[in-house]
Amino acid sequence: MRPGPYERHRELLQSVVRAIAAGECRRPFTEATGQDAADAGMRSTRTAGKVFHSLLGRPFELGQPGELGRVRTESSPYGLAPPIDYPRCDPAELVAAAGHAAAGWRAAGPYQRAGLAVEILRRLNTRSHELALAVHHTTGQPLQGAFRAAGPRAQDRALEAVAQAFAESERVPADLHWKSSERGGRPLQGTCTLVPRGVSLLVGCPDFPLWNGYPGLFASLVTGNPVVVAPHPRSVLPLAITVRVARQVLAEAGHSPDLVTLAVAEPERQVHRRLATDPAVRIVDYTGPARFADWLEQHARQAVVFANRTGLNTVVVDSTDDYRRLVRGLALASCRCNGTVRTTPQNILVPERGFTTDEGHKTLRDLGADLGDAVDRLLGHPARAARALGAITADEVRGALTDAARYGPVLHASGPVTHPDHPYADLRSPLLVRLRASDERVYTREWPGPVSFLVGTESTSHSLALLRRTVARHGALYTSVHSTDPLVLAAAGTAALDAGVHLVENLDDLPADPSSALAELPGSGVNFVTGRFRVVRSRRHAPPSAPVPAPTRLEVDAALADV
């Protein structure tokens, strides 16, 4: 007899559950990529390229209910054509179909749901290079960065969400037994049932659709909630491939494929807002600018909203014992993926009087000039520039680069950069502008793309106070502090806790994902999962236990004879 999905993936799933409980980072998909791709089950880059190009210019079929027509919303910043058309479905019918499929999915139980979620991830893993190409050509990310954001690392991030959801589901006991304190302490019994909240909506992120989308998608599925995926119009394909794979796995297992559906429409139709306010949608996941997160929290009142605001990533510079490394790290973080990664700094807070380094005292002017030189050196080689920057896809980024330059002295101007393989791709170097602490109306605005501000403050204490106030109010994904003083590091830790933001200390070359996936789940991990279900209890009097019959005289005589 063929083992079920949970039995096939039990060892992998339980190993991740144990790692989470121990506070360890387990990355099985990433570790497998260190082997030969064929051994790991992953398609080669050549095969993935053929599969990817076979999608172009053809209808992307999903077999979903409520199809009203076809829609094309994407264009490759690297000039790849023709685009793909997707089914445009009635949002109300997608939500209704998800609701109809929910009962069977709830009855499947957490073991089968978790096993099927891991199976979906395993199949996505085999298509990692194809997913990377999809991200590369829809978001403009350089191919290496796209693989990091769509391949094994993103799948490990999703696997941690699966394991966390499975572990929390296992905590719910199936049976209850206790004694009543009234009426002679008559025993009671009952049951505990995990009840999913209902239809879940995933609002896609335009720059990191899979990295930011997978945790909510898989946490909802494992806790029993069907998911409607509404990708950003600029980056549909990565999530469309994910939905197709999920629907195939679910159908093969005998479940309704409508547990996962794709909602695509022209931008002017505002399908995200329509779905978010549908009374049947009970969970909304979103990562992106704070303005839409605020809108969701104000208008999607019927749902639990898990909104991860990109916000104002902030760096506090107090002192350093490796100045050159600090400058190189800030330059690379400003350039990487057009300033869209989770660790890109927008606001760099430095005391006006300057700061101490291993090279002596440095002023704001010194840091601005050195940072501009480091950016120019990094982007001086076209191939290296293409690997770091990626192509710009949105007019709002071009507008921000022009607009931000008007607010203060420009320490490094943004200019065009030539891509060695795609001469018509729009690559821009990052913009660095100097501001005063009083220019709060400028640096508390969330600026898209590679825009950074060097903000002069009265002191490090003032910098930390600004961090605490601005991040608490406007959100951020990360904040960073550079200091050789343990007291400053302790104060920065307190400020980050007050603002509710992740903190990294004295890390100069920040990767796109410096922590484990679990640490970055919106809602601080556990609530991100437990908010997706309720526990419903039933109770009743326990049936009276059968009385023990008194021994017969023959049994008593026989027992005495044995003594």
Say if CB 144 and CB 504 are below 8 A apart. Answer: no
Average pLDDT value for the chain? 88
Among 315, 341, 326, which residue's Cα sits nearest to residue 466?
315
Q: What's the pLDDT tens digit per position in 508-539?
A: 655 444 333 344 555 444 588 989 998 887 77
Average pLDDT rounded to a whole number, residues 362-371 = 95
Percentage, residues of the chain above pLDDT 70: 88
pLDDT given for residue 351 in this prediction: 97
CA distance 248 to 268: 31
Domains of the chain, earliest start first: 9-179+187-309+524-538 (3.40.605.10), 314-505 (3.40.309.10)
pLDDT given for residue 551 in this prediction: 54
Q: At residue 392, does pLDDT exceed 60? A: yes
177 confidence band (pLDDT: 50, 70, 90): low
Neighbouring-strand partners of residue 228: 201, 261
Q: At residue 244, does pLDDT exceed 70? A: yes
Average pLDDT rounded to a whole number, residues 45-74 = 94
pLDDT given for residue 406 in this prediction: 95
pLDDT given for residue 516 in this prediction: 39
pLDDT given for residue 205 in this prediction: 92
Among 451, 417, 443, which residue's Cα sits nearest to residue 344?
451
Choose the most confident range, by mean pLDDT, from 165-169, 255-259, 506-510.
255-259
Q: At residue 52, does pLDDT exceed 70? A: yes
Number of DSSP helices (H) and strands (E) in the chain, helices first: 20, 21
pLDDT given for residue 180 in this prediction: 58
Residues 469-508 as b/e (b if ≥16 CB within 10 A, e otherwise) read ebbeebbbbbbbbbbbeeebbebbeebbeebebbbbebeb
Q: At residue 554, does pLDDT exceed 60? A: no
pLDDT given for residue 23 in this prediction: 83
pLDDT given for residue 539 in this prediction: 72
545 confidence band (pLDDT: 50, 70, 90): low
Residue type for position 175: D
Return the higher-pLDDT residue of 562 and 81. 81
Cα pseudo-dihedral 263, 265, 269, 273, rounded to 10: 30
Q: What's the pLDDT tens digit per position in 276-285?
A: 999 999 999 9
pLDDT given for residue 394 in this prediction: 86
How many residues belong to the chain?
563
Q: At residue 199, does pLDDT exceed 50? A: yes
Tell me the two tokens of residue 547. 């009385």
Average pLDDT rounded to a whole number, residues 490-517 = 77
Q: At residue 200, does pLDDT exceed 70? A: yes
Among 256, 259, 248, which residue's Cα sits nearest to residue 199?
259
Q: At residue 168, does pLDDT exceed 70? A: yes
Q: What's the pLDDT tens digit per position in 21-47?
A: 888 888 899 888 755 444 457 888 899
Q: What's the pLDDT tens digit per position in 297-322?
A: 999 999 999 998 888 999 999 999 99
Return the higher-pLDDT residue of 550 and 374. 374
Phi, psi for 160 (deg, rounded to 5): -65, -35
Tell me the two tokens of residue 159. 């696997």
Sheet holding 227-230, edge to edge: 260-262, 227-230, 199-203, 281-288, 304-309
DSSP secondary structure letter of residue 447: P
Tell me the two tokens of residue 558. 């026989």
Q: What share of the chain is helix, strand, coil (3-state, %, to 5)?
A: 45, 20, 35
CA distance 516 to 530: 20
- The packing angle between helices 209-222 and 128-139, to 10°, is 130
Supply the DSSP string of 186-243, one letter for each residue: -EEEEEEEEEE--EEEEEPPSS-HHHHHHHHHHHHHHTT--EEEE--TT--HHHHHHH
Report the range of poorest mean pLDDT among 16-30, 37-51, 259-273, 428-442.
Answer: 37-51
pLDDT given for residue 476 in this prediction: 87
- The packing angle between helices 128-139 and 91-126, to 10°, is 120
C-alpha Rg value of the chain to the nearest Å: 27
CA distance 320 to 556: 89
- The packing angle between helices 152-170 and 209-222, to 10°, is 20
Return the higher-pLDDT residue of 83 and 548. 83
Report the range of poorest mean pLDDT among 124-133, 336-345, 356-365, 393-402.
Answer: 336-345
CA distance 158 to 213: 9
Q: What's the pLDDT tens digit per position in 81-119?
A: 888 999 999 999 999 999 999 999 999 999 999 999 999
pLDDT given for residue 16 in this prediction: 93
Percentage, residues of the chain above pLDDT 90: 69
pTM equals: 0.90
Instruction: Using the structure block, give the residue that is written with the tokens 């793909």.
Output: 84
